[in-house]
Amino acid sequence: MRFLIAGAGAIGGYVGACLARAGEDVTLFARGPHLRAIEQRGLAILSAEGDFHVHPRVTGDLADAGPADVVVLGVKAHSLTQLVPRLAPLIGADTTVVSTQNGIPWWYFLVDESRLPGLHLERVDPGGVIAAAIDPARVVGSIVYFATQIVAPGVIRHDEGNRISLGEPDGSRSPRCRAIAEALIRAGLRCPVTTRIRHEIWVKLLGNVAFNPISALTRATLAGMARDAGVRDIVRCIMAEVEAVATSLGVEIPISIEQRIAGAEKVGEHKTSMLQDLEAGRPLELEAVVGAVAELGERLGIAMPHTRTVYACARLLEAARAPRSTTV
The answer to whether residues 45 and 158 touch, using CB atoms and an 8 Å cutoff, is yes
Q: State how far the Cα of 165 lies from the Cα of 14, in Å rounded to an integer.
A: 15
Domains of the chain: 2-195 (3.40.50.720), 199-320 (1.10.1040.10)
Residue 250 has pLDDT above 80, yes or no: yes
For the segment 45-66, the average pLDDT, to the nearest whole number, is 93
Q: Model confidence at 327, in pLDDT bands (50, 70, 90)?
A: very low
Q: State how far the Cα of 147 lies from the Cα of 215, in Å rounded to an integer.
A: 15
C-alpha dihedral sign at 267, 99, 31, 278: negative
Residue 328 has pLDDT above 60, yes or no: no
Among the ranges given (63-67, 155-159, 217-221, 262-266), the one the predictor scored with the smallest mean pLDDT: 63-67
Long-range contacts of 315-324 (CB under 8 A, 24+ apart): 315/286, 315/291, 317/216, 317/217, 317/278, 317/284, 318/283, 318/284, 318/286, 321/281, 324/281, 324/282, 324/283
Backbone φ and ψ for 72, nearest 5 degrees, come out as -95, 115
More confident residue, 76 or 192: 192
Residue 118's SS3 state is coil
pLDDT at 160: 84
pLDDT at 180: 98
Note the pLDDT tens digit of each residue in 167-212: 999 999 999 999 999 999 999 999 999 999 999 999 999 999 999 9
H or E, element range at 149: strand 139-152
**If DSSP states are collapsed to H, E and C, what string results for 121-147?**
CCCCCHHHHHHHHCCHHHEEEEEEEEE
DSSP character at residue 88: G
Of the candidates 76, 204, 266, 271, the residue annotated as catalytic is: 204
Cα dihedral 271, 145, 261, 225 in deg (nearest 10): 0
> How many helices (H) and strands (E) are present in the chain, helices listed first?
13, 9
Q: State how far the Cα of 48 lies from the Cα of 226, in Å rounded to an integer.
A: 24
Among the ranges given (33-37, 139-143, 148-152, 222-226), the one the predictor scored with the smallest mean pLDDT: 148-152
Q: State how far the Cα of 52 lies from the Cα of 37, in Å rounded to an integer.
A: 16
pLDDT at 128: 92
The answer to whether residues 105 and 99 touch, using CB atoms and an 8 Å cutoff, is yes
Cβ-based neighbours of 160, under 8 Å, separated by 6 or more = 146, 147, 267, 268, 270
pLDDT at 324: 54
Q: State how far the Cα of 9 lies from the Cα of 5, in Å rounded to an integer.
A: 9
Note the pLDDT tens digit of each residue in 170-181: 999 999 999 999
Q: Model confidence at 325, in pLDDT bands (50, 70, 90)?
A: very low
For the segment 69-89, the average pLDDT, to the nearest whole number, is 92
pTM over 0.85: yes
For the segment 47-53, the average pLDDT, to the nearest whole number, is 94
Residue 312 has pLDDT above 60, yes or no: yes
For the segment 129-144, the average pLDDT, to the nearest whole number, is 94
pLDDT at 111: 76
User: What are residue 47's DSSP bridge partners?
Assistant: 158
For the segment 9-21, the average pLDDT, to the nearest whole number, is 96
pLDDT at 206: 95
Q: State how far the Cα of 149 lies from the Cα of 67, in Å rounded to an integer.
A: 29
Residue 232 has pLDDT above 60, yes or no: yes
Left (φ > 0), alpha (ψ -120 to 50) or beta: where does 230 sit? alpha
Note the pLDDT tens digit of each residue in 82-124: 999 999 889 989 999 999 999 999 999 987 666 777 788 889 9
Q: Among this protein's residues, is 204 annotated catalytic?
A: yes
Look at the chain and count its residues: 328
Residue 5 has pLDDT above 80, yes or no: yes
Encoded amino acid at 170, one letter = D
Encoded amino acid at 282, one letter = R
pLDDT, averaged across the chain? 93
